[in-house]
Amino acid sequence: EDQVTQSPEALRLQEGESSSLNCSYTVSGLRGLFWYRQDPGKGPEFLFTLYSAGEEKEKERLKATLTKKESFLHITAPKPEDSATYLCAVQAAGGNNRLAFGKGNQVVVIP
């Protein structure tokens, strides 16, 4: 069974204080690892897809990296508008298009 564990569950940051979120996974052959952002009362919004170890993707203050066992979402010099829950999900190779989600990292950035 595919498993995704995200840590820390919750994180409070001062504006400008960089940090990293962790997503550890076990999957029978990784087809892709996905990061989403979710604001309260809204659906998840797609951020990145990573396919193989060593791959990195960047968007504004966010950078996602991937190893064979985990992914990190680095938030550099965060702003209050980066406050959200960040969700990690994995898709196994050879199967259908279903995803296994972690429980999320809730990030609050204080001005």
Please report where in the chains the tokens 């960089």 appear, as a residue: 18
Contact 78, 16 (CB under 8 A): yes
Residue written as tokens 């199967």? 95
- Interface of this chain with other proteins, residues 76 to 105, rule: CB under 8 A: 87, 89, 96-99, 101-104
To other proteins, the closest distance from the beta carbon of 48 in angstroms equals 9
Distance separating alpha carbons of residues 71 and 12, to the nearest angstrom: 20
The contact mask relative to other proteins for 26-55 (x = CB under 8 A, - = no) is -----xx-x-x----xxxxxx--x------
Q: Smallest distance, Å, CB 7 to other proteins? A: 13
Sequence letter at residue 26: T
Where on the chain is the footprint of other proteins (CB under 8 A)? 31-32, 34, 36, 41-46, 49, 87, 89, 96-99, 101-104
